[in-house]
């Protein structure tokens, strides 16, 4: 059995760790509140721009035979080159948050490669960069300080190369993967094909559209809206992922704090047993000494 001094040092060390994890939970809670506010504000805009682009895609699909051809709205069932854009955290200590995204990326990458499709990886987040660099994978694009501090302009710059390559025919499909916020206790893995724009679940009535585009400006409007659509989806994914990261870190730190408390209780019991054993040993030695003097 360890001596009293060693056990006491262990108790002090675990208590310090418990204070740290508790503080980290409180910090993540405060950051989560702020990030959720930003995410909620951006969500309505993201839903509206997705609706607008889906409507445009649907209407363009009806007039393709009239000479309007835009790659962003033409579905490609047999892509030759796919860009996988994914978001991970810059920091750890958030449970399996990052690995959930990485496993989804690995699974999709292996599926495409098994079909002979060329896969290019683009990552925002140091954990994703570190993992795939260690695995020897080539990253077409990487940034390590964007997911922790989402910024619309930087997100737009990051995703612009993806849009340009797609418009120029270098890639045939763009998939966005990230771990998003569902509620305070749960994160939801989100896999979204952002290019070409999907026509699934688009229901349009014959009534007049909310869109009024001049015939001569259709291609220009489509290209501009497509870029905005991609840029904002990238920005929203960063906000949603950051909220989920803080949520995951809160849970991880709460579990760590609970485990630390249990460890302190266990060490305290061990300390009391060791102290009682020491006292008993001393009493036996005293009694034995007295008996020896008789």
Which residues sit opposite 139 in a β-bridge?
121
Domain ranges of the chain: 1-20+253-292, 26-204+215-248
Contact assessment for residue 236 and residue 50, using Cβ atoms and an 8 Å cutoff:
no
Residues in the chain: 294
Please, where are the H alpha helices in 63-75? none
Indicate the Cα dihedral angle 26, 31, 34, 37, nearest 10°. -100
Q: For the chain of 294 residues, list the mean pLDDT of each consecutive stretch of 10.
A: 83 94 92 88 80 68 55 84 96 92 96 95 96 95 92 93 91 95 90 81 51 56 79 93 94 94 93 88 84 76
Please, where are the H alpha helices in 149-217? 152-167
Please count the other Cβ atoms lying within 10 Å of the Cβ belonging to residue 268.
13
**What is the model's pLDDT at position 88?**
97
How far is residue 120's CA from residue 187's CA, in Å, rounded to a whole number? 26
How far is residue 61's CA from residue 55's CA, in Å, rounded to a whole number? 10
List phi, psi (to 5°) of 2: -65, 150
How far is residue 110's CA from residue 117's CA, in Å, rounded to a whole number? 10
Q: How far is CA 200 from CA 45, 251, 281, in A?
A: 20, 36, 79
Contact assessment for residue 278 and residue 1, using Cβ atoms and an 8 Å cutoff:
no
Pairing of strands 173-181, 187-195: antiparallel
* Cα atoms found within 13 Å of the Cα of residue 195, Cβ hemisphere only: 33
How far is residue 21's CA from residue 257's CA, in Å, rounded to a whole number? 6
Fold topology of 26-204+215-248: Pyruvate Kinase; Chain: A, domain 1 (3.40.1380)
Q: Decide if domain 1-20+253-292 falls under CATH 1.10.10.10.
A: no
């Amino acid at each position: 059995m360890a001596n009293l001094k060693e056990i006491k040092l262990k108790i002090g060390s675990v208590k310090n760790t418990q204070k740290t994890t508790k503080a980290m939970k409180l910090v993540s809670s405060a950051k989560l509140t702020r990030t959720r506010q930003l995410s909620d504000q951006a969500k309505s805009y993201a839903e509206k721009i997705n609706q607008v682009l889906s409507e445009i895609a649907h209407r363009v699909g009806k007039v393709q035979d009239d000479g309007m051809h835009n790659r962003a709205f033409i579905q490609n069932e047999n892509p030759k080159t796919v860009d996988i854009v994914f978001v991970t955290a810059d920091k750890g200590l958030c449970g399996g948050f990052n690995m959930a995204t990485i496993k989804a990326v690995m699974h999709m990458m292996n599926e495409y490669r098994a079909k002979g499709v060329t896969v290019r990886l683009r990552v925002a987040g140091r954990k994703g960069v570190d993992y795939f660099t260690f695995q020897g994978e080539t990253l077409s694009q990487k940034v390590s300080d964007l997911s922790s501090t989402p910024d619309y302009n930087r997100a737009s710059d990051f995703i612009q190369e993806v849009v340009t390559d797609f418009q120029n025919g270098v890639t045939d499909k763009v998939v966005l993967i990230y771990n998003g916020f569902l509620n305070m206790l749960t994160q939801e893995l989100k896999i979204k094909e952002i290019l070409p724009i999907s026509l699934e679940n688009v229901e349009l009535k014959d009534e007049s559209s909310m869109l009024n585009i001049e015939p001569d400006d259709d291609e220009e409007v489509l290209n501009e809206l497509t870029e905005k659509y991609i840029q904002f989806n990238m920005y929203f994914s960063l906000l949603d992922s950051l909220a989920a990261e803080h949520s995951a870190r809160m849970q991880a730190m709460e579990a760590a704090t609970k485990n630390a408390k249990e460890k302190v209780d266990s060490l305290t019991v061990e300390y009391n047993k060791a102290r009682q054993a020491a006292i008993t040993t001393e009493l036996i030695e005293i009694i034995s000494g007295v008996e020896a003097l008789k």
